Amino acid sequence: MDITGSVALVTGANRGLGRQFAQQLLERGASKVYATSRRPELIDVPGVEVLRLDVTDPESVEAAAAAAGDVSLVVNNAGISTRANLVTGDLADVRREMDTHFFGTLGVVRAFAPVLARNGGGGIVNVLSALSWFSVDGANAYAAGKAAAWSLTNGVRIELTGQGTQVTGIVLGAADTDMMAGYDGPMTSPADVVRTALDGVQAGDWEVLVDDWSRGVKASLARDPREFYRPRG
């Protein structure tokens, strides 16, 4: 996927990773970047075209696809964290996680796949998480949503290969964003996450493991899960 001269669209571009994606895509030579958010008034990246796009609202997604008919690269970055558990958490929060991370991502893919096909194939980037592969008390709804999004990424890659669309999954542990406020472990800067992600996109990688967290968690899947979840200390 050649970013130079591409026309990109980024969801959740008002802060964190999304803001960095919009900015760095321009720096890498994208001819146009649509920066989208359900609150577009919060987008402050110079040089972008601002669109309203709420990934949980199908009409909003379809309107964005109609307005941005020249797109060749879609970055599915929008996400939420309700900190809900699956058994005891508010079921509405669990549904919001799945509506955002699975159905929201899928809705954007379905709306923009024909656009990408008309424009030569292009690429889709889905921002995932190391929590696609493990669970932690207090974030189990988020983990389930991201696990579904990881499976979705692999599935749509197969379905879209015939139209020449590159699908890349970006997997990371903790990034220093508003979503991770209060977390006291090691975190990667949003700029470094996006730089590594876009390097992988340009290299044609199917999956980009951004940090030691993501690489270690994926490697653990080949072992007995009790080893991973055994208390440390």
Amino acid (one-letter) located at 33: V
Specify whether 142 is catalytic. Answer: yes
Of the residues 34, 142, 183, 229, only one is catalytic, namely 142
Q: How far apart are CA 168 and CA 162, in angstroms?
A: 15
Q: ∠ CA(148), CA(200), CA(4), 5° rounding?
A: 115
Q: Which residues of 18-43 are buried (b: 16+ CB within 10 A; e: fewer)?
A: bbbbbbbbbebebebbbbbbbeeeeb
Alpha helices in 128-211 (DSSP H): 140-160, 190-203
* Pair 225, 213: CB distance under 8 Å: no
What 3-state DSSP class applies to 14? coil
* Catalytic sites, residue numbers: 142
